[in-house]
Structure 1
């Protein structure tokens, strides 16, 4: 997998740097254009996007081998008889999976060093947040692989189930994204949704708790199905309890709105002055949106205004039309957004915070804050060529991987080294009987 990840991540990095340089060439002459250039969007997300694809499609096979090979050879029955709990054995397997992910991430992590050598800018907070998101995602995919290996009789069946889960989540994301009701809830089950907030520089407590709950639940389910002597009926009964606990924790996580904006350009937040003022508005705010969920205007409104209001104001309720209204009969009403703050109401069709924030301040009877000079994101344009790094990703790093693999494979065991030196190991004497 390392040999496959090296050229995939390397080529994605080179292409990302090329596109970023083309945009930077024009931005160097215009400070306004430079503000739209963020290394998080231009370099890190595309590069680690290739790493995400490799982890989704290939890493389950690595995780399945950690447990599946012992099940097929019968060694698992011997391990279960050791004086250790199955949870200890499973914890060791998870440590092996985590170590495997850290090794697989070496090509992706080397792109950070390559970007820094080229003179690129890296913000510590948003970069670490992105790495943390990919770590959670890698452990989640590894947990899926271990669980499928635990419930399957052989590695081939486990691989089919794991790919059905990962590829099926992509299908949910493509077909149900942007819809409301049950479809919106099902779309959130996609594995892709787990990484998007991290790619936007947002650290969500509810999302982290939800991913941790799923990982812990899959570990518990694997521990339930691991002992071969337990009857299937007992395993199913215990699995039902695990699924119930996972559902409760996910329901609690869905209600947690606490999040931290770690992006350097503060794309997920209003200005600091606006946030300080909005945090003082304690009365409930109800927003009735007369738009369909798939309408691009609602998507802009959600991204630019509603999500930010929910993060900073203490009591915000958003009511979305459950279905698209009849345009012929309600042409005037469709597109209106009603804001109710206390006993005051106002209506707007805008999706821009520049128009909506003054409207909210007027409803609250307060004056807008004074803009702070120098609080804007400056951007980091850079014109560079990453073509020389192809020698590292296509030659140097794969060569080091092969050499390390050969060195590990050639390490002799204690008994093998004795035979190699011509010394016969001592054998225990037979019993006199």
Structure 2
């Protein structure tokens, strides 16, 4: 007899459930196969990144200006983690599907839902197993960071932790997509197709809608590729974290609705409506939150500290009318160098993109194309510059304040390092794969006395 829900939730211990989920995912071939495939991929990307960084460092030895442009975040960390991002996008769904797909195919799911656990508890336990699997899969990437540090490379704590946090969120998001796909599909193969359709489809979505405005721009923000870009740029965005967390929670809630095999499909569809609406509401709220923190050591996403303090005191609305098309390279420069920084530094900024619907002919005939109009209070001025060196004095003039005195000692020194990581390839193609193979062999040996063993659990 099935226990009443309150009694089941009160009496069921979580430790055996978590142990069972972890044993299930560790005993499968998908996790270890992905680990073996990721090792040479990460190793090659890391070696190439260090080689290019070393060449740039050799040229910057005698030039402080060139040295200041060398950041390990851009030169080493982002390329190395980029290879990991590709692996997680294409391979990690197969690992995440393992936590549910095998049970569904073998019929063990019907027994699992009879255990004294809520469906939401079962999904959370499986999501915890997915996080544990991602942690194991990230071992080659973390070892690359350790090798870089042992070579004498610089690692800024805030940049590195922020990038790792972004990849954790992305891995959980891909895992939640795969988990939901496993609940709605009848087989692991179908689940993998659904999950890959979403992950690869997001690449196509991001590519086709890049540079558009309005509704197309909002849809483009839903692409999975957008989830990592701010972290790679050294930004910790509150809206992005809320949006990704809301998507993970929404997918997990949908998975818990679709998990019980005995519930009719029509009932599941009806119960899914509140989850979908709540997820869309969370995503909508996330797009309205613009607060973000620049965690980069070189403050590339911010103005100098003195300017930031002065801009924060300008309380009147600043309206910026940009007469440029979104695909114009000048707009990209303006957005990166001026608009995004102003939006974080000033309390009340509105940006109007006036040239978004103009074709090439109308742009050529319009003498005002390329102008950026700044309106602060009752004053207005126009500029065509995309450099903060010209825009900031213009804003100070509009506000009637004196520019701050430039502070000394805030210059980013850069971290050139002439080195090569060719020897590290032996670790990624030899030592680490051997350790992984040994751990795989050890995981196939069930303990003498255990509730959960790997016997017969291979996929």
Same fold (TM over 0.5): yes
Distance 2:442 2:363 in 1: 73
Task: Give the corresponding residue for 1:424.
Answer: none
Equivalent of 1:336, from 367, 371, 374?
Answer: 371
Task: Give the corresponding residue for 2:409.
Answer: 374
Task: Give the corresponding residue for 1:390.
Answer: 425
Shift of 1:251: 1.2
In structure 2, the CA distance between the partners of 1:206 and 1:320, relative to structure 1 (3 Å rule), is same
Distance 2:432 2:422 in 1: 15
- Three-state SS of the structure 2 residue aligned to 1:180 is coil
Alignment of 1:16-415 (within 5 A): 16-321=49-354, 322-324=356-358, 326-327=361-362, 330-414=365-449
Q: Deviations over 1:358-412 (max 9, x none)?
A: 0000000011111011111110000011111011000000000001111121234
Q: Deviations over 1:273-308 (max 9, x none)?
A: 000000000000000001001111011101110001
Q: Deviations over 1:143-179 (max 9, x none)?
A: 0110000110111110110010000000011111111
- Three-state SS of the structure 2 residue aligned to 1:28 is coil
Shift of 1:207: 0.4
- Three-state SS of the structure 1 residue aligned to 2:423 is helix
Shift of 1:88: 1.3
Distance 1:24 1:415 in 2: 55
Q: Deviations over 1:50-85 (max 9, x none)?
A: 000000000000011110100000000001011111
Contact 2:363-2:369 within 8 A present in 1 as well: no
Distance 1:331 1:268 in 2: 32
Shift of 1:328: 6.3
Q: Deviations over 1:200-225 (max 9, x none)?
A: 11000110000000000000000000
Over 6 Å off, 4+ runs: none
Distance 1:102 1:397 in 2: 15
Distance 2:393 2:148 in 1: 41
Task: Give the corresponding residue for 2:44.
Answer: 11
Runs of 5+ unmatched residues, structure 2 = 1-33, 452-459
Distance 2:399 2:190 in 1: 60
Contact 1:327-1:334 within 8 A present in 2 as well: no
Task: Give the corresponding residue for 1:422.
Answer: none
Distance 2:148 2:116 in 1: 49
Shift of 1:250: 1.1
Distance 2:447 2:263 in 1: 39
Distance 1:78 1:395 in 2: 42
